[in-house]
Structure 1
């Protein structure tokens, strides 16, 4: 019950665009306590930190004994690492003031400063400047991640902080940079799906959505964009009856799903036939499909595709896609 209420707490804090209701969030927090966790290892502290709900975060910090707590075996990192992954500067400051370890590492060996430069949906520099100003170390991984994000801007950042970058430390090979980016930002999808979630596709897809799909715009990875595509199609059909279905949005998403899921190196012929049939059904603009079974089935195939491509693959943004 506490797990479900923690997810409700998260929704009241405005997760995924939901309406913020701070009073109800506080009531739930008082009921479940600051040590409550959900299926993916989130706690009230972690949720408030990455959503940057400052007033309730202050309240939670006052009641928290271990500011760097992480649920063992979960994919969710500590509050500071999750806040850094979202570049939530005000949350970062509060957590650091409360004693969070500046040099802690996630399961890929990334420190908070390294984390600032992963999955960058927003400008990482303000948060990076703050962490460096209070003593965060610039490690080789920080340099690799920064250069992978934006070589020119990261070099300017190093100059701004008067960092003496030795030529031998600079990962000049673009292939090496991209490889580092993919490895360091990957979800351990096999452990997540097969061990933690016991092959529960819904739970695994939920984590992929939370980690890889931005609040708006295209995902940075193919794995995230596949899931965003099917959920965009589901939403348009079920909520709008395909009124807004058009070739510059939903048509492109249909083609994207076809391109990646119709793959005989991953799926057996009978599964490919099913995928083709399902995608074809969803492509009918004048006949919206409103049941969940096709969308859920394709979501399962997306998880299977991720299991066969466990290292995240960069998604090149499509300038013609307007949704």
Structure 2
């Protein structure tokens, strides 16, 4: 059973986090005995992830103080959000959050925990962490990677695309390769986290069809061959970009995915006018790079529409699943 932030206190708590109001945060949490591992049901992210990703916190010293408050009271850095990644996966990919990552590691962060694509914290540390930093900042990054290695990072653990951290290490700068080599010679031990991930609620009308498309129509790597497979793959990418990065890396390819979804859901299967309007309104929320869509209902609704598309396109009226063409 997932523990949610109690509704009477949710808005006040999230507002206090965005304003870096430590006194109010403490009063709300302790005065109302709120579980520090509670989830925000707007995005189904643990509250510690809301601290980590808050755009309202401009000063990283303030962010560290708030994170430390939650961690000292038992917040688990390994808890996943609904999209399948945890706070460490966010922190390891953002240069400004290197000190937050360091802190999360001190409180039991699992360096081999994987995100929804099977990529570990260690993977992201090797893949992108030290590439474009210099001087004191680079040394800080390398220090954290050293800590990741000494916590038992598995550099041969492959993600679902068949790529392991060691594959990236071969192309890494010399100072990083030397650091990793030194750490591995010490044979560090690894302790797997005991985190039990919650079962997230969904509003899917067709969970079996969603499972079928994800399992059979979306490949491990590259583009799907069917229209519905590629629509769901694109929707997953759009949701991940919004939740993980706040659309910081939103590009013309992301917008093209949204346009592809909109075109196919509204023009191919004799969709009625009311549904066309609702689909259009939902997809338009995914086209605004400056306003990341963090509404689960939007993604759930469009997932259902993709399932309906799948049912229609495989009926006698529409024949077998159609292949799609490269659209950018």
Q: TM-score, normalised by structure 2?
A: 0.48
